Amino acid sequence: MIFAVPLAWLQLTYEKSRLLVAIAGITFAVVLMFLQLGFRDALFNSAIRLQSNLVGDLVIISPQSTNLVGMRNFSQRRLYQALGMKEVASVNPLYIGIGAWKIKEDPAGQTRNILVLGANPDAKVFKMPGSISNIDRVKTQDVVLFDRASRAEFGPIVGECGTLALKAQFNDEAFVCNKLVSREVANRKLTVGGLFELGASFAADGAMITSDTNFLRIFDNRRAGLISVGLVNLKPDTSPYEAMRNFILSQPTDNVILPREKLQPDGKRIRSLYQEKIGADGKITSEEDKNKVVISKADLTVEDLKKTEDAAIDDTRIMTIQGYIDFEKGYWQKSTAIGFIFSLGTVMGFIVGIVIVYQILYTDVSDHLAEYATLKAMGYGNLYLAQVVIQEAFVLSILGFIPGLGISFFLYNLTKNATLLPLYIWDKAIPVMILTIVMCVISGAISLRKVQSADPAEIFG
C-alpha cells in the first residue's frame, strides 16, 4: 500500500529548497567517501605496480627490507643457493636504488629522486610495456629506459624522444626514443635509449631501467653481488610452496619466522616471538611481537606457507610474488599513517552523511507531525509511518548518490591527470552506493522516535 500512494515523495518535494539542501549534503558525503576510498586504493595500487610486473615465481629479499624504497642489500650467494634446487629453472638478481635526477629545465639545477632498476638485460625480468622490446638498448654503456608515465617534473622526455603523439598507444613504436636525449643522474651523464611505462607512486615519482653493469656505474658505492631482490623462476608444474619449504630446509637455521596475521600462536607448534627492548629507565624488557610468529623448521608445513606466502630465515626472506605484493601493501597499510588517514576520512564522510540526513528527516517529521498524528487517528500504525520515513531516507540516498557519482568522476579524472596515480571509480560505485543507502537508512531509523511520539490526542486535544 505504501508504494501505491507516494507519500514519502510528496513529503520530500513539499519544500523543494529543503530537498535541495538535503541532496547537497548527501552529495558532499558521497564525494568525500569516493575520494577517500579512491586515494587509499590508488596508494596501494601504485605501490605494487613494480611487484606486479616482475617475472618470477618466488622472491628473495633481506629480512631488514621494509618496502620498495627501503630495500636492504643481501648477498646474491643466497639466490644462487636456490639455483641448486631441483625445482628451480633460473634465478635473476635485481638492483634497486634511488638516484638524484637533475632537472635540465630548472635554471637552479634542482634534482628529483627517481627509482632506478638494474638487471641483466639478457634475462627476462620485467613485464612493463616497452621494457621487453627496448631492454637490449641498455647493454650500451650509460643507456637507460625512462618511464614515460613519470611525473612531468622530470622534464619533457617523451616529447624530446619524438613520441609524444603516441603516448596513449602501447605498440613498440610508442616506446622508441628516436632522438638523442641525455640527462644527469647521480652526477653521471646518461642517455635515454627508449621508454617503458610503469607509473608514479607515493614512494617514487618516476622510474628508469638499466643493466646491472650500468646500475653499478651510477651507484659506484654499491658492491657487485649485493642485490636488492632475487627472482626465482621454477620449473613447470612445480609448487612454489614446496619449493619454499625445500629452500628453508636447506638452510642451517632452526627456526622460521612467519607473519602473524594468518597464523596465530597455539603455544605448541606455533610460538609467539619476543623482542628485547630497553625502557626509559634503562631496564631491558621482553615484549611480544604482534606481527610475527616463530615455528621450528622441522615443524613447518606446506599449508603454513600457503597461508602466509612469506617466511624469514636468518638473513633471508623468501615469498611468492603475491607475498611480495602483500609485503608492500602491508607496509603502507600498517607502518604508515596514510592508509589509516584515508580509511578515517571514509568513516568521517559516512558519519557526516548520517548527521546531515538525520537533521533533514528530523526537521521534516517535526514539521509534519500533525499529518503523522492524523494518519495515526485514521488507523495507520507505527509500522506504516516507519515505512514512510525509511522510504524518504532511501529516496534521499539515491538522489544524493547520482550527482555525487558524477562529481567524483570529474574529480577522479582531474586528480589522475595531475598526479598520474591509478584512480578508477567504477569498482567503488556499488560499495559507495550501499554505504550511502545504509547511511540514510540509519538516519531514518534514528528519526523514527519522533514519528512514534506523534499522539493524536496531544495534537488535536
Residue-level pLDDT at 386 = 77
**CA-to-CA dists, residue 413 to 2, 33, 125, 151, angstroms:** 41, 16, 32, 16
Q: How confident is the model at residue 454 (pLDDT cuts 50, 70, 90)?
A: low
Q: Are the C-beta atoms of 264 and 120 separated by less than 8 Å?
A: no
Residue-level pLDDT at 2 = 44
Q: How confident is the model at residue 455 (pLDDT cuts 50, 70, 90)?
A: low
Q: Is residue 336 scored above 70 in pLDDT? A: yes
Minimum mean pLDDT among 277-281, 324-328, 446-450: which range? 277-281
Average pLDDT, the chain: 87
Residue-level pLDDT at 461 = 53
Cα separation, 17 vs 363, in Å, equals 13
Which residue, 445, 443, 444, 447, is CA-closest to 351?
Answer: 443
Residue-level pLDDT at 460 = 57
Q: Is residue 51 scored above 70 in pLDDT? A: yes
Q: How confident is the model at residue 44 (pLDDT cuts 50, 70, 90)?
A: confident
Q: What is the mean pLDDT of residues 442-454?
A: 76
Q: How confident is the model at residue 5 (pLDDT cuts 50, 70, 90)?
A: very low
- pLDDT tens column, 91-138: 999 999 999 999 887 777 788 999 999 999 999 999 999 999 999 999
Residue-level pLDDT at 69 = 87
Q: How confident is the model at residue 279 (pLDDT cuts 50, 70, 90)?
A: low
Maximum Cα–Cα distance across the chain: 96
Q: Are the C-beta atoms of 162 and 179 separated by less than 8 Å?
A: yes
Cell of 116: 632506478
Burial class (CB in 10 A: 0-12, 13-18, 19+), 386: middle
Residue-level pLDDT at 281 = 67
Q: Is residue 3 scored above 50 in pLDDT? A: no
